[in-house]
A and B are shown apart, each in its own frame.
Chain A
Amino acid sequence: MDRAFRRRLELRFGDLLSGPIRQRHDETEIRIAPADVPEVMRTLHDDPAFRFEFLADLCGIDTGRTMQVAYHLWSETTPDWLRVIADGLSRDEPRVPSVTFLWKGAEWMEREAYDMFGIVFEGNRDLRRIYMPPDYRSFPLRKDFFIADDAARSPGAGVRPMERTHVPANAAPGGVVRHSKVD
């Protein structure tokens, strides 16, 4: 945990942060609003005090209540991984600005997040499905998508025919998922 890095982040992004900075093991986590992604990322990338040149990962997350996009960045100015979470995307219409203007290599990772969660990255010029066929209609990694043979979760495992386990017994009536403590 890099305490000095935490203070630097607080000083620089004080009012842009939408949640507390969390630190655990060798990771630092900040949360921002989706609209602030270009500004924060550009600062992290260009500011000589941060110099986050390397994008280690970009992924979508469905917490069951909201959608998030998590970016993992590396810089030689800190021994920690920096996780930036664009928090609070609506599950019905998740939209977030693209970071392809900084890292063109994020293009496919954003395509993957679109393919799996339906998150629309505004500014990505090639946002189409990447794994699933182009005429596929749903988003497989969303929490309201159940794999048909969900034997691990089904209380009637091995009893009910496969078609009927399509919606597991512990699914909430509204369609969304198991109770989640993830925020």
Chain B
Amino acid sequence: MPTRHEPAAPYEIPAHPSADDPRVTLEEQLGVFEPIPPYPPRTEREAEFYTLRDGEMFINMGPQHPSTHGVLRVVLKLNGEQVVDLDPVLGYLHRGVEKLCENADFHQAICYMDPLEYVSSLFCEWPAVIAFEKLLDVQVPRRAEYIRVLSTELNRVASHALFMGWMALDLGGLTPILYSFIERDEIVEMLAALTGQRMLFNYFRIGGVNGDLNHEFMSRLGDWMSRATEQIEANLTLLNENEIFVRRMRGLGVLDRETALRMAVSGPNLRASGVPFDVRRAHPYSVFPELEFDIPTRQEGDCLARYLLRMDEIRQSLRIIDQCLHEMPDGPVMARVPRLLRARPGRAFAAVEGPRGLYGVHAISDGTDQPFRMRIHDPSFVNLQLVPLLMPGNLVADTMAIMASLDPIMGGIDK
């Protein structure tokens, strides 16, 4: 019979300690996101990064940090408040879309494209659709092409408007996002009237689009277009004339022309560094050769240039939308395409210019009704590589500004 003063049995650490167990100390639980890998470094770069010099420390930013625009973890190596180096850790949102597409037929594969970039879904559908049309030798009716251009340019305005709000939010300004969401919501409601969905549109089809322009869409669009320019310009004065914002962004995260090309960057980030590369002009697709618009370019390559360039693009998009409405031809919106598609063996590559850069799809067919291989190229994935390049030497607070100015979307990065 045990006596009253017998010592308690020694505590055994369970194999899987629970956070609810009061005997488990807080330190053990915090070790879940240990920045130093529990294995020897495998590459030159990893060995270099995970070696601390005097006075340096690691800090994890993310994976749930609000300014990482998704589920991104960045291991920061800090010296005081200065960023020495950083290592982005991806894969928290990886769904294996490329593998899923290999197990779907050509029609089904298109609906996997939408959730890649939930801010600009139509741009993800478009290259896939063009690549399949090339494989199948389908000719798209002109009216469908115009509708595609119209809807994607609307989507571009929505995406850039949201960027403006995010950018300010990451810098600590709360007001602009309220205005940018007004803009975005009007466009999203408009596209919902056209496509039937608010965000994941699934609107493009092989050989055309899912439905013709309808009355609700046209009335919403006409209403919006009559005041869009004024409204957007008014929103832009919130930041363009804000001295704190401008002085904070100018000269921050400078990317020069040669580095931008070497990093394979595309889209506004590249054009802000002085390279006038826009797929709509460099490798024209759809009806863009017939439309008039400029490619805004800036030479500075800093965060402010990247921001201002996107705002210039909104103005160009409004021009394109206006021309589409005036030149929209009559006719069918779908080519005659069979339900069961069998492409002959071959390869096709298609790229479009999205709000973040070049969206590409490389589709390979082996003669069945399914793509044999479906490669999705996402611009955010490539653009995020700039982060380890531009950050070192800046303060921690500037990491948010630089990352926001690159405008990455984690859904596309972790496809």
Contact = CB atoms under 8 A, between A and B. Distances in A.
Interface of A: 24-27, 29, 53-57, 59, 61-62, 70, 72, 74, 76, 79, 81, 83, 102-109, 112, 116, 125-135, 140-141, 145, 147, 150, 152-153, 180-182
23 contacts: A24-B348, A25-B348, A29-B347, A53-B261, A56-B360, A59-B362, A61-B375, A72-B351, A74-B282, A76-B282, A103-B264, A104-B385, A105-B264, A105-B382, A108-B381, A109-B382, A132-B94, A133-B91, A147-B99, A147-B100, A147-B103, A152-B104, A182-B345
B44 A125 contact: yes
What are the 8 closest A-B residue pairs judged by CB atoms, nearest first? A105-B264, A126-B45, A105-B263, A59-B375, A131-B91, A131-B94, A57-B377, A55-B264
Given A83-B347, A105-B385, A131-B94, A126 B43 contact: yes
A27 to B, nearest CB: 6
Given A59-B375, A181-B366, A182-B366, A128 B414 contact: no
A102 B358 CA distance: 19
Contacts, number: 129
A81 B283 contact: yes
B46 interface: yes
For the complex, would chain A's binding face be called helix, strand, loop or mixed by DSSP majority?
A: loop
Contacts of B377: 56-57, 59, 72
A54 B373 CA distance: 23
B367 interface: yes
B283 A79 contact: yes
Interface string B252-264: 0000000001111
Contacts of B372: 180, 182
B382 A182 contact: no
A179 B124 CA distance: 30
A61 B282 CA distance: 27
Contact of A125 (B45, B91, B265, B414): B45
Please tell me the size bucket of the interface on B. Answer: 35 or more
Contacts of A131: 90-91, 94, 414
B224 interface: no
B349 interface: yes
A177 to B, nearest CB: 10
B64 to A, nearest CB: 18
Given A130-B90, A152-B103, A180-B366, A103 B349 contact: no
Given A104-B385, A130-B90, A131-B90, 11 more contacts: A27-B349, A54-B264, A56-B358, A57-B375, A70-B362, A81-B349, A81-B351, A105-B262, A105-B263, A108-B382, A135-B39
Interface in B95-125: 96, 98-100, 103-104
Contacts of B283: 26, 74, 79, 81
B360 A108 contact: no
B360 A57 contact: yes
B142 interface: no
B91 A132 contact: yes
Contact of B265 (A24, A70, A81, A105): A105
B307 interface: no
B298 interface: no
Determine which residue in A56, A72, A103, A133 has the highest number of CB atoms from chain B within 10 A of its CB, and name it.
Answer: A56
B277 A54 contact: yes
Interface string B40-71: 00111110000000000000000000000000
Interface string B351-367: 10000001010101111
Contacts of B364: 61, 182
Contact of A25 (B39, B134, B282, B360): B134
A71 to B, nearest CB: 10
Considering residues B44, B347, B385, which has the most beta carbons from chain A within 10 angstroms of its beta carbon? Answer: B347
Contacts of A54: 261, 264, 266, 277
